[in-house]
A and B are shown apart, each in its own frame.
Chain A
Amino acid sequence: DQQVKQNSPSLSVQEGRISILNCDYTNSMFDYFLWYKKYPAEGPTFLISISSIKDKNEDGRFTVFLNKSAKHLSLHIVPSQPGDSAVYFCAASAGTGNQFYFGTGTSLTVIP
C-alpha cells in the first residue's frame, strides 16, 4: 500500500525554466514532509521540508507547497540548472522522529 505517490517517473526541463515536481499522499495523519535529491551511487540528500502548519516553505531556488485538503505537495525549482538533474523523492511522516514513507521518485533532467 503506497501511502506516498509520485506519479511522474520522469521530467525534462530547459535550463532557466521552472521545474515542478509533484507528490500525493493518502494518510491524513502525515504532518511533516521532506524532499530529497539523489544522484547515482550516492545516498539521498536532504533538500527542504515543510510541516503541516505551513503551506509554503522557501530555501533559495527551492520552494515546497503543501495543500493539506488535497493531500498534495509540490517542489518548485526556479531557475532550474543542469546540476539539478537527479532523482527527487518526497517523504512523509506522522509525528517528529517517526518513520518516513517515501514516494517512488521523479527523475529530473535539466537540459542546457
Chain B
Amino acid sequence: DAGVTQSPTHLIKTRGQQVTLRCSPKSGHDTVSWYQQALGQGPQFIFQYYEEEERQRGNFPDRFSGHQFPNYSSELNVNALLLGDSALYLCASSLTPGQGHGEQYFGPGTRLTVT
C-alpha cells in the first residue's frame, strides 16, 4: 500500500522565482492538506483540497496557491519566492471530510531552500 509521496525531495531556488511541489495521496484518500514547517517549529497549515477545490486555508498570502487533480494528487505553487519561504513543505492526505476521525498521513516532505 503506497503511502503519501512527494516530489522533489530537495529544491534550491532564487528569490523572486516560482516553485511547484507535487504530492500523491495515500491510496483510498481523497483529501490533501499542505503544511509549511520552518526549522524548530511545528507544521503550519497552508490549505486543504477536496473535490478539486480549496476547502480551507490557513494564514498564508496569495503567493501560495494550489491545485488538486481528478486523481486526487495535488500541487503547491509559490510565486515571488522570499528567503522566509525556505522550509520543509509537507503534504498530508486523509479520508473525505467527515469520514473517520480526520487522521492525516504525511509524506516525507520537500525541503525548499531560497537563496
Co-assembled chains A and B: yes
Judging by beta carbons under 8 Å apart, are A100 and B106 in contact? no
Q: Please report the C-alpha to C-alpha distance between residue A91 and residue B37 in the assembled complex, in whole angstroms.
A: 14
Q: Please report the C-alpha to C-alpha distance between residue A97 and residue B97 in the assembled complex, in whole angstroms.
A: 4
| Min C-beta distance of B59 to chain A, whole Å | 9
- Interface presence of A32 (CB below 8 A): yes
A99-B56, A105-B42 as given contacts; A43 in contact with B108, CB under 8 Å: yes
B41 contacts across to A, CB distance below 8 A: 104-105
| Min C-beta distance of A77 to chain B, whole Å | 19
Comparing A14-22, A44-52, A78-86, the segment that makes contact with chain B is A44-52
| Min C-beta distance of B87 to chain A, whole Å | 13
Judging by beta carbons under 8 Å apart, are B94 and A97 in contact? yes
Q: Please report the C-alpha to C-alpha distance between residue A45 and residue B4 in the assembled complex, in whole angstroms.
A: 11
B106 touches which of A32, A43, A49, A104 (Cβ 8 Å): A43
Judging by beta carbons under 8 Å apart, are B103 and A43 in contact? no
Comparing B12-20, B43-51, B64-72, the segment that makes contact with chain A is B43-51
Judging by beta carbons under 8 Å apart, are A96 and B97 in contact? yes
Chain A contact residue count (CB 8 A cutoff): 26
Judging by beta carbons under 8 Å apart, are A97 and B98 in contact? yes
B109 touches which of A43, A93, A104 (Cβ 8 Å): A43
Judging by beta carbons under 8 Å apart, are A41 and B108 in contact? yes
Q: Which partner residue on chain B sits nearest A102 by CB separation?
A: B42
Most chain B CB inside 10 Å of its own CB: which residue of A6, A42, A43, A93: A43
A93 contacts across to B, CB distance below 8 A: 102
| Min C-beta distance of A98 to chain B, whole Å | 7
B73 contacts across to A, CB distance below 8 A: none
Q: Please report the C-alpha to C-alpha distance between residue A101 and residue B105 in the assembled complex, in whole angstroms.
A: 15
Q: Please report the C-alpha to C-alpha distance between residue A101 and residue B59 in the assembled complex, in whole angstroms.
A: 12
Judging by beta carbons under 8 Å apart, are B43 and A44 in contact? yes
Chain B contact residues, CB within 8 Å of chain A: 4, 31, 33, 35, 40-45, 48, 56, 58, 90, 92, 94, 96-109
Q: Apart from A32-B101, A96-B100, A100-B43, what 7 extra A-B contacts exist at CB < 8 Å?
A: A42-B108, A93-B102, A97-B98, A98-B56, A99-B33, A102-B35, A105-B42
